[in-house]
Amino acid sequence: MASDHESRSGAESATEKNSATTGTITSNNGENHLKRHLGNRQIQLMAMGASIGTSLFVGIGTGLTAGGPGSLLLAFAVYSCILAPINNCAAEMIVYMPVPGSFMRMAGKWVDPALGFMAGWNFFLYESILIPFEVSALSAVLTTWNENIPVWAPCLVCMVAWGFLNLVAVEHFGNAEFVLSGFKILLILVVFVFTFVVMVGGNPKHDAFGFRYWDDPGAFAPHITEGTLGQFYGFIHCLRLASLTIVGSEYISILAPEAERPRTYLKTAFKTIYWRFLLLFMGCALSIGILIPWNDAIMNSSAASPFVLAMNNLKIDVLPHLINALMAAAIFSAGNGYVFCSSRSLHCLALEGHAPKFLSKCNKQGIPYYAFGVTMLFPMLSLLQVVKSQNAGKLVVMLGDVTATAQLINYFVMSTTYICFYRAMKRQGIDRSTLPYVGWMQPFCGYVGAVSMVLIAIMYGYTLFIPGQFRVMDFFICYTVPILGVLIFTAYKFKIKRTHMVSADEADLVWEKPAIDAYEDSLVTPPSRLADELMALVGRRMRRNSSVEHIFVWYDRKYPQGGW
């Protein structure tokens, strides 16, 4: 992220067109500048799979146990419908103004500086706490192969690997996430194919069970109590799980300042989110409900992935090891993404004066190395398992519960910021049709997103309101983050800085737009398409084989500009 002065310097440097072939932007003084080194294929694959992690492959079993396959699928569908309007809001703002810090800075610029302060620290702590969450989950997956793996080993390996990928250059991070996100997509496709094959009888038992488990033990499981009320509690539990599992818009937002062509590639990435909600998240929820009954005794007592447990139930030997390997790569990738987001959000806080200034410094490759160093302290929290190594699964669940409400705050901030952005556009007479991305049904989507996040945050601790179910620890787990967010906002607004709400007339809708326009105008090569980049990537690998060289010679002659 850069200040206004630094942004103008970046724009002046961009006009030199010294980055026309690489799609990057540099400056004479790169001390506080991120670099635009993420290409189209990297951004699109990360949009599809980068933030998919532990909750989808491991934690989803808790939702099946509590609510049954019907409640799980319905909850994932409902929450996807809630996040779609929020993604619509984020896309319009961030494609228009792809600045470092994304919605966190926008909240301070267009709503209230106090909201920006709270949003920045909330997002940093949310991403940072998820890092040991993924390390703990990786440890749990690895123990399915060998229970004697030291607890500290996954933490050490992850810290070294994440350090290499995040410190060398952002393009290496992007390339790694491109490959790892591909593994995640492959993992989900394997799960889908496996589900279809075994449900129609392609399993060692030759049992075409289809949707049997939707009838016996049933589609809707009672939770806490019996009857219809218990089934409703089961649905609420699944909806709470969905709020932890289904994410994505905030991750793309953080990529904005390091995208080669932010207004072109980010627009496509945000559109990809809708398909990911439908195919990946809901598809996994449907698959697990087909593969294993919600009353499976082993699933209720194991921290392993329910997909692996389903394969073991069908006496399938080799595939569980493949799934575990791909799942380990997926969890490692999710942690790598959280390290990236955490370091960038801390860098943003420092540039805005909300954190020590030295954390804003970047090296020549555009890496905020001090912010990264602070971020890498968080994986060490996973070493808490050394005290009680048998509670790895419980630690995963606890960390997930604590951080889930922080994610709700992120989406509430996005929605609220968009409402103010929309009002400012209307008040200042700016035609939204001139924006590079125009959201649908606005500002209705903004209000739906904001109200929905408040309601879900309230119901997150629904068990506390059931007679005889109140637990002090559960209260702190469910509501500490929202209460702390309100306190931080209030203290900053009324005591520390005494800020005021930004009126629609005062909102700076120009901001860093001239610098971004100048940068994009400086690019002389046309934007690439994902298919072209993938073809070129495959071509570089296969050209070593002379027998297929003539295929690529023909392709280059027929499509000199990339084709397709």
- Residue by residue, DSSP assigns 294-340 as TT-HHHHH--S-HHHHHHHHTT--SHHHHHHHHHHHHHHHHHHHHHH
Residue 561 lies in a domain: no
Per-residue model confidence as pLDDT tens digits over 413-464:
999 999 999 999 999 999 999 999 999 999 999 999 999 999 999 998 899 9
Residue 276 lies in a domain: yes
pLDDT higher than 50, residue 11? no
Written in H, E and C, the secondary structure of 87-152 is HHHHHHHHHHCCCCCHHHHHHHHHCCHHHHHHHHHHHHHHHHHHHHHHHHHHHHHHCCCCCCCCCH
Per-residue model confidence as pLDDT tens digits over 75-117:
999 999 999 999 999 999 999 999 888 899 999 999 999 999 9
Residue 227 lies in a domain: yes
Using CA atoms, how far residue 149 sits from 34, 141, 144, 248, 546, in Å, is: 38, 11, 10, 32, 45
Please tell me the distance from the alpha carbon of residue 36 to that of residue 338, in angstroms, as a whole number. 19
Per-residue model confidence as pLDDT tens digits over 154-211:
888 988 999 888 887 777 788 888 888 888 888 889 999 999 999 999 888 888 999 9
Cis peptide before 217 (omega within 30 of 0): yes
Please tell me the distance from the alpha carbon of residue 123 to that of residue 403, in angstroms, as a whole number. 10
Query: Three-state SS for 545?
Result: coil
As a whole number, the mean pLDDT across the chain is: 83
Residue 323 lies in a domain: yes
The angle, 0 to 180 degrees and rounded to 10, between the axes of the packed helices 549-558 and 530-542 is 150
Question: Is residue 366 a contact partner of residue 22, using CB atoms and an 8 Å limit?
Answer: no
Question: Is residue 43 a contact partner of residue 266, using CB atoms and an 8 Å limit?
Answer: yes
The angle, 0 to 180 degrees and rounded to 10, between the axes of the packed helices 170-199 and 319-351 is 140
Please tell me the distance from the alpha carbon of residue 496 to that of residue 491, in angstroms, as a whole number. 6
Question: Is residue 116 a contact partner of residue 107, using CB atoms and an 8 Å limit?
Answer: yes
Percent of the residues in the chain that have a pLDDT greater than 90, as a whole number: 38
> 99: left (phi > 0), else alpha (psi -120 to 50), else beta?
beta
Please tell me the distance from the alpha carbon of residue 409 to that of residue 424, in angstroms, as a whole number. 22
Please tell me the distance from the alpha carbon of residue 259 to that of residue 94, in angstroms, as a whole number. 12
For residue 408, which amino acid is it?
L
Using CA atoms, how far residue 350 sits from 214, 269, 293, 329, in Å, is: 52, 28, 49, 32
Question: Is residue 406 a contact partner of residue 126, using CB atoms and an 8 Å limit?
Answer: yes
Return the residue matching tokens 């493949």: 322
CATH code at position 89: 1.20.1740.10
Q: Which two tokens stand for residue 135?
A: 């390390």
> 362: left (phi > 0), else alpha (psi -120 to 50), else beta?
beta
Please tell me the distance from the alpha carbon of residue 222 to that of residue 398, in angstroms, as a whole number. 22
* pLDDT score at 134: 83
Please give the angle made by the CA atoms of 486, 59 and 344, to the nearest 5 degrees: 50
Number of separate domains in the chain: 1
* pLDDT score at 316: 86
CA dihedral (275, 280, 285, 291) positive or negative: positive
Q: Which two tokens stand for residue 397?
A: 């669940």
pLDDT higher than 60, residue 544? no
H/E element holding 468? none
Q: How many CB atoms sit inside 10 A of residue 335's CB?
A: 27
Closest by CA position to 512, among listed 106, 38, 101, 8: 8
Per-residue model confidence as pLDDT tens digits over 453-512:
999 999 988 999 888 888 888 888 889 899 999 999 999 999 999 999 999 999 999 998
Return the residue matching tokens 């009857």: 227
Range of the domain at 223: 40-498
* pLDDT score at 17: 38
Residue 551 lies in a domain: no
Residue 8 lies in a domain: no
Where helices occur in 352-427 by DSSP H, the ranges are 369-375, 392-427
Residue 507 lies in a domain: no
- Measured in Å, how far apart are the chain's first and last C-alpha atoms? 35
- DSSP β-bridge partners for residue 259: 38
> Which 8-state DSSP code applies to residue 543?
T
* pLDDT score at 404: 76
Closest by CA position to 154, among listed 144, 167, 165, 140: 140
Per-residue model confidence as pLDDT tens digits over 404-422:
789 999 999 999 999 999 9
* pLDDT score at 3: 40
Please tell me the distance from the alpha carbon of residue 232 to that of residue 238, in angstroms, as a whole number. 10
pTM for this one?
0.86
- DSSP β-bridge partners for residue 38: 259
Residue 30 lies in a domain: no
Please tell me the distance from the alpha carbon of residue 38 to that of residue 82, in angstroms, as a whole number. 29
Per-residue model confidence as pLDDT tens digits over 219-265:
999 999 999 999 999 999 999 999 888 888 888 888 888 888 888 88
* pLDDT score at 26: 36
Q: Which two tokens stand for residue 50?
A: 């980068």
